[in-house]
């Protein structure tokens, strides 16, 4: 009886946590980050606001967990790189960049987080940046650095431009316009052109760097 009760308690806790995390996403999409208040989150979640402190330790903990669940690069692990050692990360790099482009395009909540990070200093958003950098550092050292050696810094710079460019194009097409440099980013054809350009840049980097 006690085991069933404990299992039920864990399930209830996970359901309530998910309600809070879902509520953060709903508010982000409808009201933006300015609407992320404890009372509003609890109302949308339909759960007592005290549980935010019980389950997450407060708003910072809730935001930390929410951001971790949504951010693309914070969830990329070195396990995905193992089959790609012989190519020096070429296939991995291309796949991750293209996946990032599609992931951010579909994830309106992450777009809001990225905009928030550019406009306001907040502990949870700094943690997001640090987690991205930490994971990225592991990826670079594990597979990129052995391949490029002393040119690794050049590779990092090129990757930085591509990643930030893809972030911007997704946010641009989502908010104030869909045509950029004459390419309609709201169409499948336009997005495919961007993807082909990414593949071209990755190929050129590996061929010429």
DSSP reduced 3-state for 183: strand
- Counted domains in the chain: 2
Q: Are residues 109 and 54 both part of a single domain?
A: no
Q: Are residues 10 and 104 both part of a single domain?
A: no
Q: Are residues 63 and 92 both part of a single domain?
A: no
Q: Are residues 120 and 192 both part of a single domain?
A: yes
In a domain, residue 192? The reply is yes
In a domain, residue 81? The reply is no
Long-range contacts from 194-200, C-beta under 8 angstroms, 24+ separation: 194/101, 194/166, 194/169, 195/98, 195/101, 198/94, 198/97, 198/98, 198/101, 198/162, 198/166, 199/94, 199/98
In a domain, residue 83? The reply is no
In a domain, residue 197? The reply is yes
Place of tokens 């990070």: 117
Q: Are residues 50 and 150 both part of a single domain?
A: no
Q: Are residues 97 and 193 both part of a single domain?
A: yes
Domain that holds residue 168: 88-206
Q: Are residues 55 and 101 both part of a single domain?
A: no
Q: What is the CATH number of the domain that holds 11?
A: 1.10.10.60
Per residue of the chain (209 residues), what is the pLDDT tens digit? 445 455 666 788 889 999 999 999 899 888 888 888 999 999 999 999 999 999 999 998 898 888 888 877 766 655 544 546 678 889 889 998 999 999 999 988 888 888 888 888 888 888 888 888 888 888 888 888 999 999 999 999 999 999 999 999 999 988 777 899 999 999 999 999 999 999 999 999 999 98
In a domain, residue 33? The reply is yes
Give dist(CA 152, CA 140) in Å, integer.
Answer: 8
Q: Are residues 202 and 99 both part of a single domain?
A: yes
In a domain, residue 45? The reply is yes
In a domain, residue 53? The reply is yes
Q: Are residues 120 and 30 both part of a single domain?
A: no
In a domain, residue 196? The reply is yes
Q: Which of 19, 36, 67 is the last residue of a domain?
A: 67
């Amino acid at each position: 009886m006690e085991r069933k009760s404990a299992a039920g308690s864990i399930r209830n806790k996970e359901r309530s946590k998910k309600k809070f995390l879902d509520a953060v996403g709903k508010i982000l999409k409808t009201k933006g980050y300015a609407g992320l208040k404890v009372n509003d989150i609890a109302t949308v979640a339909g759960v007592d606001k005290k549980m935010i402190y019980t389950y997450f330790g407060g708003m910072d903990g809730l935001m930390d967990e929410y951001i971790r669940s949504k951010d693309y690069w914070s969830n990329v692990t070195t396990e995905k790189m193992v089959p790609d050692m012989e190519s020096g990360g070429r296939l991995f790099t291309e796949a991750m960049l293209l996946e990032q482009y599609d992931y951010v395009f579909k994830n309106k909540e992450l777009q809001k987080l990225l905009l928030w990070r550019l406009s306001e200093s907040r502990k949870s958003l700094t943690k997001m940046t640090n987690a991205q950098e930490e994971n990225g550092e592991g990826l670079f050292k594990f597979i990129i650095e052995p391949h490029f050696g002393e040119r690794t810094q050049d590779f990092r710079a090129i990757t930085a431009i591509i990643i930030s460019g893809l972030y911007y194009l997704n946010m641009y097409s989502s908010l104030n316009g869909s045509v950029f440099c004459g390419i309609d980013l709201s169409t499948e054809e336009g997005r495919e052109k961007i993807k082909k350009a990414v593949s071209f840049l990755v190929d050129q980097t590996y061929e010429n760097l």
